[in-house]
């Protein structure tokens, strides 16, 4: 067995959907700032406050998507020691009695839809109370 074992892999459709939402938020913000707001500003019939309002309204989409789609765990890897990789039985025994100092890599999707990797120990994991995020 390899040293780096994948213990969780989010479905590809979920990862693609979350990534698409995050890219859509970036696209909406960039189009509003680069196309819509300059056209509104250049239009003499629109009020002066309209261009900043367009930018502000489009800027709220990005943090909203970020809050609604986080934290999204895409993959989790665990480092198995050499003695646990010798046989299937040893690996199962290791998994049942997981040491607190076992290294883990958790890949999440942040504000941008590219994975970020966080390395931590199993003993650092905590159960969070119910609620947002």
Is 119 a domain residue? Answer: yes
Is 133 a domain residue? Answer: no
pTM over 0.85: no
pLDDT digits (tens, 9 = 90+) for 24-79: 888 888 999 999 999 999 998 989 899 999 999 988 888 887 777 777 889 999 98
**Does an H or E element contain 37, and which?**
helix 37-42
Is 132 a domain residue? Answer: no
CA distances from 121 to 7, 48, 75, 99, 102 (A): 15, 54, 15, 9, 5
Separation of alpha carbons 75 and 73, rounded Å? 6
Range of the domain at 71: 4-124
Residue 132 has pLDDT above 70, yes or no: no
Tell me which residue has tokens 């040491």. Answer: 99
CB 39 within 8 A of CB 69: no
Is 27 a domain residue? Answer: yes
Is 25 a domain residue? Answer: yes
The pLDDT assigned to 17 comes to 87
Is 130 a domain residue? Answer: no
Number of domains in the chain: 1
pLDDT digits (tens, 9 = 90+) for 81-125: 888 888 889 988 988 888 999 999 999 887 777 788 999 998 898
Is 131 a domain residue? Answer: no
Decide which of 62 and 80 is more confident. Answer: 80
Query: Inter-axis angle of helices 12-31 and 50-59, to 10 degrees?
Result: 170
Is 55 a domain residue? Answer: yes
Task: Please give the structure tokens belonging to residue 109.
Answer: 């999707």
């Amino acid at each position: 067995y390899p040293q780096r074992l994948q213990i969780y892999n989010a479905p590809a459709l979920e990862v693609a959907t979350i990534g698409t939402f995050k890219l859509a938020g970036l696209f909406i913000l960039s189009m509003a700032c680069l196309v819509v707001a300059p056209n509104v500003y250049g239009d003499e019939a629109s009020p002066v406050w309209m261009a900043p309002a367009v930018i502000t309204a489009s800027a709220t989409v990005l943090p909203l998507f970020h809050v609604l789609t986080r934290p999204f765990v895409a993959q989790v890897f665990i480092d198995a020691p050499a003695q646990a990789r010798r046989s299937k039985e040893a690996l199962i025994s290791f998994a049942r009695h997981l040491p607190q100092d076992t290294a883990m890599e958790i890949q999440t999707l942040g504000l941008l839809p590219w994975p970020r990797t966080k390395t931590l120990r199993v003993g650092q994991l905590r159960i969070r109370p119910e609620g947002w995020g």
